[in-house]
Structure 1
Amino acid sequence: MGLAGAPRPRTSSGLPRGHGPHHPRQLAAVPRGRATGAVRAGPGRLLHLVVCVEAAGLGLPAWLVLRAGGQPGAVAGALAATAVWCGIRAGRGRYALPLPGRPPGALTTPGDWLLLIGVLAVLWTVVDRSIDPAAAVMALVPGLLTASGTSWARGVHRSGRRRTVRRVLVVGEAEGVDRAVGLLTSRAGHGHLVVAALPVGTAPLACEVPVPGRLAPEPAGDDASTVLGAAFAHEADLALVVPGPRLTADRLRRLSWGLHDGGLELSVLAHLSETSADRVRPSSVAGLTLLHIAPPLRRGLQPVLKAAVDRAGAACGLVALAPLMLLIAVAVRLTSKGPVFHRQIRQGRHNRPFVMWKFRTMVVDAERRKARLAAVNENDGPMFKMRRDPRVTRLGRLLRRSSLDELPQLVNVLKGDMSLVGPRPPLPDEVSRYDERELRRLAVKPGLTGLWQVSGRSDLSWQETVSLDLWYVDNWSVAGDMGLMARTLRAVTDGRGAY
């Protein structure tokens, strides 16, 4: 079982027996042509169909519109537009097989279409000015709609393929294997299932996964056959190699030859786990493979767009949710003594303090009671969390579970103290105990929602919370924020980790 294009693993019944615990069962290599043929058949036909549909979707309507409008050279104009369009799409990689984990941006097709308009405008000024520009633009609109449709269809197709679970064999030294297995098993939704591990050397593993054998500490001629035997025995369709001192570049290169000849796909874990794939661009210089890492978004159009989306979203939210917020305010006032709102000092971007607003969910003297409850704190970091906090009112539990208590923070977003999406806003006493790594959470504005909220909230450990926040700080984008806000609706409905 595996993704379309992955070679079908053999069952263990057809494998020769091994010769000891450190020599897993061996397997004869699978012919290279058979494996590569399985990889290319389906996606290749789909891409050819996409090219034909986009070419026809732009060329035919363009010819019909230009001809109906009495424009000269309708056929030549339509053919030229089609050729330029296909060239732009191919040159910008729209017809290439997508890289795993790197979906295209939401504005790629409109951007290509605008580039087409620009190129054709230059050709219009140089070659033939007899065609009406307005008619030409109208003739190209069906092409934009067709390309948008094919992009959407390809996205749906990729989503369906990603639902197939990949069976992964992790190869590397014990420490790296434990880390990789821990991350893959602690998070869901990535479509990778660890079925076994193959350590290098004799060091024991802390993770609880099957260990069908081990690689020798030094490079050996049977490295590839050992990995293939373990992979096929556990029906793995992907070998994930964690480089280390004993898995040198030369050993890894030779291992890749054997695995690819044997029909097993190979992935190499880069030591850039907190860097989004969108920020990494491979290049080749003097025979060296380099990974260029783009800096986090701090300047330019995207931060300006994020600020505009924050203010506009907060204003619209306050207007649309005003009746609900009024009902919550009345309920808070009638069900417990004390003010409707709870105001608290939090630390914002660059460690600047601000007053954060929430609906009150605790008793009035909650802060004084906190010191007595410090011994039963259920969080392993500077945050204070209790699953059954006695200070929370009955209505407060409902508000916290549904996250409705955080709606007044839209005022903070409108004022510019917070963002719609970002790390959790910390308390001053929490920040006073931060180390240098944790202080980086304050490089961006805190958010009303974020990775912490959609990934389990208070059920997460402190280090998991910090890791998620740091990932967001370095890799955020406006498109990613939109996705997180959509995921927030599901997280709020679920209510997991909200207390």
Structure 2
Amino acid sequence: MHSVTTQSTKAVHKVGLNKFRLSWSLRTAKGWMITALLVSDALGLVAAGWVTIALRYVLLGEWRWDLLPQVWPVAMGYIGVASLRNLYPGVGLHPASELKRLSTTITLVVLSLLALTFWTRTSLAYSRMTFGGVWLAALVLLPLGRALTRQMMMALDLWGYPVAIVGRGEGKTWLWNFLLGNKMTGLRPVVAIDCATSKGASGKEQPHLCWEETEDGLLFPFVANIDTAIVLTESLPESVVHYLSSGRSTFKRIVLLPALEHVSSLGVSPFTIDGFLGLEIRNNLLNSVEQRVKRCLDVILVCVGGILISPLLFIVGIVVKWTSPGPIFYGQERIGRGGRRFKAWKFRTMVQDAEQVLEQYLTKHPELRAEWEANQKIKEDPRITRFGQILRKTSLDEFPQLWNVLRGEMSLVGPRPIVENEIEKYGDSFELYKQVHPGLTGLWQVSGRNNTTYEERVRLDEYYVRNWSIWLDIYILAKTVWVVLSREGAY
């Protein structure tokens, strides 16, 4: 099936990839990905310049088209630094980590240019207002442009460069299916190196190659046109892991995936002790400075946002009272940080005697009882009023919880607050849940919301607590805006 040539007694088998010949789009995918993001960032910075000029007109009443060329030093500096920080194509970065790098890069470049104009005495030739406006606009436009670019590239089947997966067993099959189903990762599996035939998500056999242990050493296949290998270390013989990690393979990039399921991924970095490689795991929950920053952000955003939306909340309250009998607000005891109980507030979206109405409905429709017991939700909930349905789909019913955030009982971002009878469903994860304040929004709300299972929700809460950082909160807040506008997973 495959042509094999041997270089020496301890050489590596060169196994032809004729059966798995890569298409032109896969061979050139990485170049397309980098080009698309470069264009996106450049256009985003130009757009930031336009926004700045427009704001200058609104505030000062003057159009200054001559200021637009001042964007180019920012653009060139940004693209140069972003390239050094591996933002092109940025594969392997969590969205929160990418947001952090984008924000710190544009901030560093703008501050450097301001300092340069000061020390070279050219500050009069450059507008500090232009630099400041471009900086603020770019903080929004750059991440937005990248998200839209990825969506467009995925629609054109141009996002994702080829990778090989080296591993055995269920872990390899799971990873193969996961990468195929999550194109946003930018990694597209095209061949498995495992010496065993297995099936992917489509039920078809995965293209695979084999290694071989001999008296002369390990014979490992050569894979053409694939630079990256993802290695599941737990399922492999030590000789294979050693060979791949020693730098002798033909892969330019080796990604080792150890079995560290319950370890933070965003808070991990390499740590070297006299040549020995270790992993440094940071527990940001114990960082008092970041905790204070989180609390300050909560208070500032709640105060500013509350003032801006207060007319809307007033109107919602009137409509709630007018459309159905009962109070405007509904309070329910929830479990907060440290296991303390508090009353979480919402706009009332249900009829009076809601529990009695639900029980009667489930009695008439016993097929729905399992759904209710599993998720504590059903799609056609008879308790919800007509206006309540609108409030839930737009998430407006949650806004009274801003009061809970201001009181320090909740945070803007965190796990969804649970009730007493949900503790058993959380199991051991409840100890993690108690380490943080529950949130008005969180990973569950921006990851499918009601379209996910209860078990997936618990896993998302676990991930949030283990990987918490200010940048993860900022990412979730930004994505919440899109989820609310698109009403994704809301019912």
Provide the rounded CA distance (Å) in 1 between the counterparts of 2:194 and 2:295: 48
**Alignment RMSD:** 4.8
Structure 1 residues 221, 154: CA separation in 2 closer, same or farther (over 3 Å shift)?
A: farther
Provide the rounded CA distance (Å) in 2 between the counterparts of 1:141 and 1:94: 26
Q: Of 373, 378, 395, which aligns to 1:386? A: 378
SS of match in other structure, 1:338: coil
Q: Name 1:309's counterpart in structure 2.
A: 297
Q: Of 241, 266, 288, which aligns to 1:252? A: 241
- CA drift of 1:322 comes to 1.8
Provide the rounded CA distance (Å) in 2 between the counterparts of 1:462 and 1:446: 16
Q: Name 2:443's counterpart in structure 1.
A: 451
Structure 1 residues 479, 214: CA separation in 2 closer, same or farther (over 3 Å shift)?
A: same
Structure 1 residues 412, 312: CA separation in 2 closer, same or farther (over 3 Å shift)?
A: same
Provide the rounded CA distance (Å) in 2 between the counterparts of 1:293 and 1:489: 31
**Bigger-Rg structure (1/2):** 1
SS of match in other structure, 1:407: helix
Amino acid at match of 2:167: G
| Number of residue-to-residue matches in the alignment | 413
Q: Name 1:12's counterpart in structure 2.
A: none
SS of match in other structure, 1:289: strand
1:239 is aligned to 2:226: no
Structure 1 residues 460, 218: CA separation in 2 closer, same or farther (over 3 Å shift)?
A: farther
SS of match in other structure, 1:361: coil
Q: Of 187, 193, 200, which aligns to 2:188? A: 193
Work out whether residues 381 and 462 of structure 1, in 8 Å CA contact, stay in contact via their aligned partners in 2: no
Q: Name 1:467's counterpart in structure 2.
A: 459
Provide the rounded CA distance (Å) in 2 between the counterparts of 1:24 and 1:363: 71
Render the CA deviation track for 1:417-465: whole Å, top value 9, x for unaligned. 1111111111111114431124312211111111111111011112221
Alignment of 1:288-307 (within 5 A): 288-307=276-295
Q: Name 1:335's counterpart in structure 2.
A: 323
- CA drift of 1:289 comes to 2.0
1:319 is aligned to 2:307: yes
Render the CA deviation track for 1:93-149: whole Å, top value 9, x for unaligned. 99454564143263466579989999x9xxxxxxxxxxx99x89999997x959969
- CA drift of 1:468 comes to 1.4
Q: Name 1:421's counterpart in structure 2.
A: 413
Q: Name 1:172's counterpart in structure 2.
A: 167
Q: TM-score, normalised by structure 1?
A: 0.67
Provide the rounded CA distance (Å) in 2 between the counterparts of 1:464 and 1:187: 16
Alignment of 1:114-263 (within 5 A): 145=131, 164-185=159-180, 187=182, 189-201=184-196, 208=203, 210-213=205-208, 215=210, 221-225=218-222, 228=223, 238-248=228-238, 250-255=239-244, 261=250
Provide the rounded CA distance (Å) in 2 between the counterparts of 1:240 and 1:402: 41
- CA drift of 1:186 comes to 5.4
Amino acid at match of 1:368: Q
SS of match in other structure, 1:239: strand
Provide the rounded CA distance (Å) in 2 between the counterparts of 1:288 and 1:139: 52
Gaps of 5+ in 2: 5-12, 19-28, 39-76, 154-158
Structure 1 residues 457, 157: CA separation in 2 closer, same or farther (over 3 Å shift)?
A: closer
Amino acid at match of 1:289: L
Structure 1 residues 237, 345: CA separation in 2 closer, same or farther (over 3 Å shift)?
A: same
Provide the rounded CA distance (Å) in 1 between the counterparts of 2:319 and 2:302: 23
Structure 1 residues 281, 257: CA separation in 2 closer, same or farther (over 3 Å shift)?
A: closer
Provide the rounded CA distance (Å) in 1 between the counterparts of 2:486 and 2:332: 27
Alignment of 1:262-301 (within 5 A): 265-272=253-260, 277-301=265-289
Amino acid at match of 2:306: L
Provide the rounded CA distance (Å) in 1 between the counterparts of 2:145 and 2:440: 33
Amino acid at match of 1:224: P
Q: Name 2:103's counterpart in structure 1.
A: 106
Task: Tell me the percent identity.
Answer: 32
- CA drift of 1:411 comes to 1.1
Q: Name 1:11's counterpart in structure 2.
A: none
Work out whether residues 196 and 210 of structure 1, in 8 Å CA contact, stay in contact via their aligned partners in 2: no
Structure 1 residues 268, 139: CA separation in 2 closer, same or farther (over 3 Å shift)?
A: farther
Q: Which segment is superposed worse, 402-411 or 329-338?
A: 329-338
Q: Name 1:364's counterpart in structure 2.
A: 352
Work out whether residues 196 and 208 of structure 2, in 8 Å CA contact, stay in contact via their aligned partners in 1: no
Provide the rounded CA distance (Å) in 1 between the counterparts of 2:193 and 2:236: 13
- CA drift of 1:393 comes to 1.8
1:348 is aligned to 2:343: no
Provide the rounded CA distance (Å) in 1 between the counterparts of 2:204 and 2:233: 19
Render the CA deviation track for 1:379-422: whole Å, top value 9, x for unaligned. 59754111112222222222111111111111111111111111
SS of match in other structure, 1:423: coil
Gaps of 5+ in 1: 1-14, 29-37, 48-85, 121-131
Q: Name 2:477's counterpart in structure 1.
A: 485
Q: TM-score, normalised by structure 2?
A: 0.68
Structure 1 residues 115, 211: CA separation in 2 closer, same or farther (over 3 Å shift)?
A: closer
Render the CA deviation track for 1:228-258: whole Å, top value 9, x for unaligned. 27xx6xxx6643221224342x312424679
Provide the rounded CA distance (Å) in 1 between the counterparts of 2:455 and 2:482: 24
Provide the rounded CA distance (Å) in 2 between the counterparts of 1:237 and 1:377: 51
SS of match in other structure, 1:416: coil
Alignment of 1:18-29 (within 5 A): 26-27=16-17
